[in-house]
Amino acid sequence: MQVLAFDDEQPLAQALADALGLPLALIRRHRFPDGETRLVLPKPLPPRVLLLRGLQHQPNDRLVELLIAAPAARAWGARELLLVSPYLAYMRQDMEFTPGEAVSQRHIAALLATQFDRVLTIDPHLHRIASLDEVMPAGQGVALSAAALLGEWIAQRVPGAVLIGPDEESGQWVAEAARAGGLDHGVGRKVRHGDREVRLSFPEVAVDGRAVVLLDDMASTGRTLIGSAVEALARGARSVDVAVTHALFNGDALPALRAAGVRHVWSSNAVPHESNAVCVAPLLARALADWAGA
């Protein structure tokens, strides 16, 4: 059995391989001038392969890489292939908002299910479905949560903080983080007016004179978090920090958060980013221990 990964995700792949006591091998990539990609996999491969590939930043390119790597891995000896994708792209598009609009969550999940025996991810952005079982064959998609890891981290760094989730969909996730850290929490309501215009209805929880940590499963443009930070400070919060599972932080999101008065920004390394503070390798390893030992 072996862990297989792409070179740009080697740190997390190495941590996961070490936690599982497995060897790590890397896939080499070359991009041709016309945009096509050449992949070179180690050969031969053992019968069971754990392939690590997150689908953040340029997800279309990464999906094509997976569609090449998966059958190549099977051709070079892998009989059982498990995908560990800490960030699973296209999960937000979960219904037909306008006539004819493709429900990409359903289609991408089904596509990955044809290539991998199992797909393991962390905090997928699921809104109107309860689990990946609704878009993949039962048991084939496994979703973990980094909420408890972040809650424990926050409790160590900001004892007595109050955790604030931006909207109703974050309620269960924020509650789990609060339980893990023994912290108070509140959940707001998000009103979106487009891709970059979001207003937060702040929760009715006292923040005057208290340290506030804004929690979310992911941060893309950061506008929701910026609005929350401004509101928390206006209500007298002593400080405002941010913690997220997936640190996408596109464009000017990170400097804009800091300009809004956010003190610290923490994230898990499910997505490689300068804000990474919490390692998800132990979380993944615990979920994979039985599979790795079989």
* C-alpha–C-alpha distance, residues 173 and 76, integer Å: 40
* CATH number where 137 lies: 3.40.50.2020
Residue 206 lies in a domain: yes
The two structure tokens encoding residue 47: 């019968």
**105 and 159 assigned to the same domain:** no
Question: In the chain, how many domains are there?
Answer: 2
Helix/strand/coil for 118? strand
Residues 164 and 64 in one domain: no
Let me know if residue 101 belongs to a domain. yes
Residue 166 included in any domain: yes
Q: Give yes or no for a contact between 47 and 291, defined as CB atoms under 8 angstroms apart.
A: no
Q: What Rg, from alpha-carbon coordinates, does the chain have?
A: 20
Whether 274 is covered by a domain: the verdict is no
**222 and 109 part of one domain:** no
Statement to judge: residues 195 and 81 lie in one domain? no
Please indicate, yes or no, whether residues 80 and 185 belong to a single structural domain of this protein.
no
DSSP 251-293: TTHHHHHHHTT---EEEETTS--TTEEE--HHHHHHHHHHHHH
Beta carbons of 52 and 4 less than 8 angstroms apart: yes
The reply to whether omega before 282 is within 30° of 0 (cis) is no
Range of the domain at 158: 147-269
Nearest to 55 by CA among 107, 112, 98, 11: 112
What pLDDT is attached to residue 270?
97
8, 134: one domain? yes
- Tell me if 284 is assigned to some domain: yes
CA distances from residue 262 to 28, 42, 125 in whole angstroms, order as listed: 39, 44, 24
pLDDT number for residue 27: 98
Element (H, E) at 211: strand 211-219
Between the CA of residue 64 and those of 55, 68, 69, what are the distances in Å?
Answer: 11, 6, 9
| Residues belonging to the active site | 190
> In whole angstroms, what is the distance from residue 203 CA to residue 187 CA?
5
Same domain, yes or no, for 158 and 213?
yes
Q: Are residues 125 and 18 in the same domain?
A: yes
Does the pTM surpass 0.85? The reply is: yes
Contact in structure between 261 and 236 (CB atoms under 8 Å): no
For residues 122 and 175, membership in a common domain is answered with no
Q: Is 128 found in the same domain as 70? A: yes
- Considering the domain architecture, whether residues 129 and 168 belong to the same structural domain is answered as no
pLDDT profile of the chain (294 residues), mean per 10: 95 97 97 96 97 96 97 98 97 86 92 96 86 90 96 97 87 92 89 59 87 94 90 96 96 95 98 97 94 67
Which pLDDT does position 149 carry in this prediction?
97
The CA distance from 165 to 175, in Å, is: 9
Looking at the structure, tell me whether residues 122 and 161 fall in a common domain: no
